[in-house]
Chain A
Amino acid sequence: ELKVEQNPLFLSMQEGKNYTIYCNYSTTSDRLYWYRQDPGKSLESLFVLLSNGAVKQEGRLMASLDTKARLSTLHITAAVHDLSATYFCAVYFGNEKLTFGTGTRLTIIP
């Protein structure tokens, strides 16, 4: 069974702090996506990670992929209020089958 687990489900952190969201998956895959969703809005693509060891950075967000450990991380550096949102990882299992994690609701406190 294909499973994608995100941790934590809820995260409340102070501005200026660093934190990491984890995405574990159960079956081999070499492609993983990260999305952001603001309340009542659609999903916005953040990163596409295509191979083992892939690392991508955009502003205060950095994502990495370890296909051997079946683990991806989304690292937040020096958090600011604008980063408050729900973050989803999604794992590609072939033939356009995409399985999403349950999401991490991130709240940045001033």
Chain B
Amino acid sequence: EAQVTQNPRYLITVTGKKLTVTCSQNMNHEYMSWYRQDPGLGLRQIYYSMNVEVTDKGDVPEGYKVSRKEKRNFPLILESPSPNQTSLYFCASRSTGEGYGYTFGSGTRLTVV
């Protein structure tokens, strides 16, 4: 089944403890993105990647890092999480070509205390 897989689905952590949210897609998509969703703010783009080793900042990159060493994986790294990073996170991927929309993962609900 074609899908974007995120792990974990739920995570509670403490301020300052480094964490990684993994994202993997099995559709050979070139483009991948991370979003956070907060009530009243919709989804905001954190980082995106147009191919292996090609990443760039979205609208809210502060406090996050990403890497794209393999085409299928695009992990999101929080080096020192803070409570304002408590949110619902989505990874998404799509194929090249303007007619394709993004396929979203199931989401990761992160709580930083």
Contact = CB atoms under 8 A, between A and B. Distances in A.
Interface in B38-77: 40-45, 48, 50, 56, 58-59
B58 A33 contact: no
A95 B31 CA distance: 10
A100 B56 contact: no
Interface string A46-71: 00101000000000000000000000
Interface in A3-37: 4, 31, 33, 35
A35 B107 CA distance: 15
Main secondary structure of the interface of A (DSSP, over half): strand
Given A96-B33, A97-B48, A48 B100 contact: yes
Given A43-B90, A96-B50, A101 B42 contact: yes
Interface string A84-108: 0000101000011111111100000
Nearest to B35: A100
Contacts, number: 55
A97 B105 contact: no
B112 to A, nearest CB: 20
Contacts of B104: 35, 42-44
Given A42-B107, A95-B56, A96-B48, A33 B101 contact: yes
A48 B99 contact: yes
Contacts of B90: 42-43
Interface string B96-113: 001111111111000000
Contacts of B107: 42
Given A42-B106, A42-B107, A97-B58, A48 B42 contact: no
Contacts of A98: 33, 45, 102
16 contacts: A4-B42, A41-B106, A42-B104, A43-B90, A43-B92, A43-B102, A45-B101, A48-B98, A48-B99, A88-B42, A98-B33, A98-B45, A99-B45, A100-B43, A101-B42, A102-B40
